[in-house]
Amino acid sequence: MKSREQEYKEIFIAEALEYYDALSRHISELEKAPKDEKILAEIFRLLHNLKANAKAIGFINISDVSHKLETAFGLIRNKELAFSDNVVNVLFDGIDLLGEMITNIDNPNYKETSNEVLLRNLDVIIESADGAMPTAENGPLEVTKVQREFTAKNLSLSELIYIQIKKLDHMMNLVGELIIDRDRILSISKDLDNPDLISVSSHLYRITDELQFSVMDARLVNVGSLFNKFPRIVRDIAVAENKQIHLDITGQDIQIDRNILQIITDSLLHLMRNAITHGIENPEVRTKKGKPASGNVWLSAQNDRDMVNIKLRDDGKGIDLNEIKSAIVRQNYLSADVVKDLRDNEVLSYIFEPGFSLAKEITEFSGRGVGLDVVKNAIDSIGGRVHVDSQQGKGTTFTMHLPTSIAVKGALLFEVAGGFFAIPLMHTDSVVSLPKNRLHEVGDMLVADIMNETISIVYLDELLNAPEGMMQLGNKNILKGDEQNIIIVTYNNRKLGLIVDKLLRQQDIVIKPLNKPVDNIDIYGGVTLLGTGKVCLVLDVPAITRYFIGKR
């Protein structure tokens, strides 16, 4: 696990090695130009930083040696000590010792063998400055010859480099392109049935797979890098809201793509503020209800197959469904008689609608008009899902299901009217096969009862191919054959069934954005190329679901 301490240590070492290299360079320059004040000032600054950094992180030996060297160079700067003869040797040795100590920070077997002599030598030259200039004749200087073990110096560069995220983004895009071409080559090689080509393309397959994995891996960070900011934030909100909050954090070492974590940062902060300001009750109210005065908030991360689930749970007052129902009517989303037939999870899903608000008062941290729709949009944009559960009086749980990586997604491939299409697995609930007589015409829609739920069913061939103004989505006579293959998709606690002609397979796909002018068709979220070279359009489940749920 890469904790903040680990991160600080890596930064310290990388910077300390830079300082060491610069010090070595400057002291050689100084030997040629002992009076150059600019070089002296620079050496002094580097030692000064090294001393302060080492002390801050707790490498006291490095700090001590830097301090002694800094003092010596300070004396030279003030012309109280001459940079010559023995002094030069001692200072060279001192800087080399620093380098040795820095490179051995992680080496448990490293023994600072010849340091004592060297440290005494440093003390000697510092003290000698109090009196006369040290020379071989009159000086009290008794510099002992130091036998350094590393006469032939090892050159070493830092083990750690910093990479801009945009460089990693570029690599990820290239890997995406490569995978598309790889699948194409694999498919061609099967058609040609040439054993050499098959062998080399299966090797290519493995290598690109590993390459993709490595690039994805390089972008992973610990969820902890975000979670660890919360104790402080929670404390501040709790103080401002006059509430007592106990925060429990788990799963900090779960890894996720850095950009995904960046995108959900504001959302998580928003949900946390809501949980504390609207969820957790005042201590007096809680005590009256028989709850502990201090409210609990749990922030956790878990791996779930290829996804990461981030969960924020509170044991506050929960969401009042009746309050949401009246807000749905008050804000003109639906009429009162439609609302009373909604299932509980459908009612809850309205909290993610744009502009929807339950807030009656505005506090410092919440209720400034930024709604949960912003949270939802952020999570949609990376192909994730957000889900809410709430029990009145007991608390609320928000769960974000997030992809670990952005570029490659698992998808379900199918055929409609000879064309290829895909739906990200993130949005598929189940696949069922129903005879025509289980489908019912209700208004201008088809519906079916599937596992005790009434689900709207859309015939994709008609939706995608019917001429404008002639669409008959409520007519089951146009369906082909008797058994209908239906993919049930979910979005925001709502389900929709999509009738497809033929189910193909599950496959990892690289989704590319659509080019203009096609990108204004909001049924499609993107496009991918199949190994056969055929174009496969990726359906935008959020857009389609929104369209039909709005219709109902």
Partner 1 sequence: MKKRILIVDDSFYMRTMLKNMLTDAGYEVVGEAPNGQTALELAKETKPDLVTLDVILPDNTGLDVLKGIKKDQPDMKVVIVSAVGQEVIVNEAIENGALAYIVKPFSEEKVLETVGNALKE
User: Given the rule CB under 8 A, which residues bind partner 1?
Assistant: 4, 8, 11-12, 15, 42, 44-45, 48-49, 51-53, 55-57, 70, 229, 232-233, 236
Burial state string for 409-434 with b = 16 or more CB within 10 A and e = fewer than 16? bbbbbbbbeebbbbbbbbbbbeebeb
Q: What is the DSSP string of 394-415?
A: TEEEEEEEEES-SSEEEEEEEE
Closest to partner 1 by CB, 176 or 367: 367
Q: What is the DSSP string of 124-183?
A: HHHHHTTSSPP-TTT----PPPP--S-SSPPP---S-----HHHHHHHHHHHHHHHHHHH
- The per-type count for the chain, helices as H runs and strands as E runs, is 17, 18
Tell me how far, at minimum, the Cβ of 14 lies from partner 1, in Å: 8
Token readout for 102 is 């820095």
Distances, alpha carbon 458 to alpha carbons 385, 416, 435, 455, in Å: 22, 13, 15, 10
Packed helices 230-241 and 258-274: angle between N→C axes, nearest 10 degrees: 20
Tell me how far, at minimum, the Cβ of 64 lies from partner 1, in Å: 13
Find out whether 273 and 363 touch, Cβ atoms under 8 Å: no
Token readout for 327 is 């807000």
Closest to partner 1 by CB, 129 or 498: 129
Find, among 376, 381, 340, 373, the residue nearest to 356 by Cα.
Answer: 373
Tell me how far, at minimum, the Cβ of 522 lies from partner 1, in Å: 36
Find, among 348, 299, 301, 353, the residue nearest to 320 by Cα.
Answer: 348
Find, among 494, 499, 503, 495, the residue nearest to 439 by Cα.
Answer: 499
Find out whether 494 and 543 touch, Cβ atoms under 8 Å: no
Diameter of the chain measured on Cα atoms: 114
Tell me how far, at minimum, the Cβ of 81 lies from partner 1, in Å: 16
What is the 3-class SS of 15-44, one letter each residue?
A: HHHHHHHHHHHHHHHHHHCCCCHHHHHHHH
Task: Supply the Cα-derived Rg of the chain in whole angstroms.
Answer: 33
